[in-house]
Chain A
Amino acid sequence: MMNSRAGDEPAIRVTGLTVRRGGRTVLHGLDLDVPHGSITGLLGPSGCGKSTLLRSVVGVQRTSGGEVRVLGAPAGSAGLRHRVGYVTQAPSVYGDLTVAENLRYFAAVLGAPAGDPARVIAQVGLAGHEQDLTARLSGGQRARVSLAAALLGAPELLILDEPTVGLDPVLRQDLWQLFRSLADQGATLLVSSHVMDEATRCDRLLLMRDGRLLAHDTPAELLRATGTADIDAAFLHLVQAEPVGSPR
């Protein structure tokens, strides 16, 4: 793709990103880079600003300061709309349409190839459910329909907000294998989770708390630097290392 690697700019570059909502600062001047062709995990407790950061990268969040550049262009610009796939935390698909109808519609909007709905249905393991009404599926299945819609048109960047919530361990394993194969094919993934044990599956980690970045490193380096055995402990170590009375 033209411009996709303009210069040496990373897939995502966030500088000084500040978001205020209702008089409260949700993100406090974040700086971060996400390299091409990698899986970056965004970890942190519920309510720490993960979704707000992801929405800013997709370009649907009203920001009050800083810059977000995605694939060499300002986040949310028109040229990015068929290059970035986005999965919101709550499944954003039509409950009153079948799985196949949902994906055919989103494929038509994206101008994706005619075979794409069948491909993504197989990728998320929903083969055999094409004609099921989406509202009648289980929560985990609905989440996978939503994920499938984001895979249409093979986007270069995937922004996934808690894509594995409520899935059984086998399905989670399958999805992480899918994410890995997409990254191996050159896609960049930014995946949020509040399940710390998913961290080891990522190339890089962003640890967040109260709208601030605690760490931005590879899982191995994070464990080494904090002298801990798992990401949960590393997170606790970083929180305790924060200056006492740091502003929220």
Chain B
Amino acid sequence: MNLRRTLATAGRVLGQLRHDPRTIAMLLVVPCVLLTLLKYMFDGQPGAFDRIGPALLGIFPLLVMFLVTSVAMLRERTSGTLERLLTMPLGRLDLLLGYGLAFGAVALVQAALASALAIGPLGVHVAGPTWLIFAVAVGDGLLGMALGLLVSAFAATEFQAVQFLPAVLLPQLLLCGLFVPRDSMATALRWASDVLPLSYAVDAMNRLTGTPGVGGAVLADLAVLVGATLLALGLGAATLRRRTA
């Protein structure tokens, strides 16, 4: 791995985004609009948004980063630029970390905006430290990015890449505890939800809004998120073959 090449790659990815202001706007604005929508959807059920809002702060970064990264990486594979880069002295880790830095920065801005909106105007009560909310949200964003990189290897077209959203993320969304508490699911589903990383993102957000201080359980959730991210990045790196058929 080489710092100059990693930073050049991150700069290049951000440069591509800079030429696409509509994508930037959607990345940043859509989560805020959806949060606001939900707040007023549950207008008649006090307390409901307090339960769902924090969970969504953990879910949005993952969804958005997954979509953006899987399409960006697929374009890199189909346009031949990946093949060109792999004939150059660029390490696979340089490429992945470059994407990680660039989209991580976007995830940070997105998480900051969404959390500020939720905690401020939308009045979500957070007992734990606010910086941990950011940390979990950025961790989610990075996990979404790593999963997106990984699935891009299995998609031949952008249609397929987009279909991985319902295939990979929807089951996690259903089982993460957003709709039903994880304890009340059938045992097999409970086990499934235990191995899906999004469950830990939602758990962490729920703990942070419920209990003050930095609990060990939150840090354990965060560690699971980081571990899942590294695992997905490692598997993603294995799919970046210099030699192909």
Interface mask (A79-98 → B, CB under 8 Å = 1, otherwise 0): 00110101010111111111
Known: A61-B243, A108-B5. A101 touches B12 (CB 8 A): yes
Contact of A111 among B4, B85, B243 (CB under 8 A): B4
Counting CB contacts under 8 A, is A244 at the interface? no
CA distance A235 to B20 in the complex (A): 49
- A96 to B84: give the CA distance in the assembly, Å: 17
Contact between A86 and B84, CB atoms less than 8 A apart: yes
Contact partners of B132 in chain A: CB under 8 A: none
Across the interface, which residues of B come within 8 angstroms of A111, CB to CB?
4, 89
| CB-contact partner of B88 in A62, A82, A91, A96, under 8 A | A82
Q: Interface size for chain A: under 10, 10 to 19, 20 to 34, or 35 or more residues?
A: 20 to 34
Interface: B1 (CB within 8 A)? no
Supposing A105-B8, A105-B12, A133-B19 touch, asked if A58 and B85 sit within 8 A by C-beta, the answer is no
Residues of B1-47 contacting chain A, CB below 8 A: 4-5, 8-9, 11-12, 15-16, 19-20
The answer to whether B87 touches A109, judged by C-beta atoms less than 8 angstroms apart, is no
A96/B19 in contact, CB under 8 A: yes
A105–B86 Cα distance when bound, in Å, is 14
Q: Which of A92, A94, A108 contacts B4 (CB 8 A)?
A: A108
The segment out of B75-83, B110-118, B224-232 that lies at the interface is: B75-83
Which of B79, B84, B242, B245 has the largest number of chain A CB atoms within 10 A?
B84
Residues in A whose Cβ lies below 8 Å from that of B12: 94, 97, 101, 105
Give the contacts of A86-139 with B (CB-CB under 8 A): 86, 88, 90-98, 101, 105-106, 108-111, 133
A78, A81, A149 pick with most chain B CB within 10 angstroms: A81
Does A109 contact B243, Cβ atoms closer than 8 Å?
A: no
Interchain CA distance A133-B19 in the complex, whole Å = 9
- Is A62 in contact with B244, judged by CB distance below 8 angstroms? yes
Cα A78 to Cα B89 with chains together (Å): 7
Least Cβ–Cβ distance between B241 and chain A, in angstroms: 8
A166-201 CB contacts (< 8 Å) to partner B:
none
Once bound together, how far apart are the Cα atoms of A15 and B127, in whole Å?
70
Inter-subunit contact B81/A94 (CB<8 Å): yes
Which chain A residues have a beta carbon within 8 Å of chain B's beta carbons? 21-22, 58-62, 76, 78, 81-82, 84, 86, 88, 90-98, 101, 105-106, 108-111, 133, 149
Question: Top 3 nearest A-B pairs by Cβ distance?
Answer: A92-B80, A108-B8, A81-B89
Known: A58-B87, A109-B85. 17 other contacts (CB 8 A): A21-B245, A59-B243, A60-B83, A60-B243, A62-B245, A76-B243, A78-B89, A82-B88, A88-B84, A90-B79, A92-B83, A94-B16, A101-B12, A101-B15, A105-B15, A106-B88, A110-B88
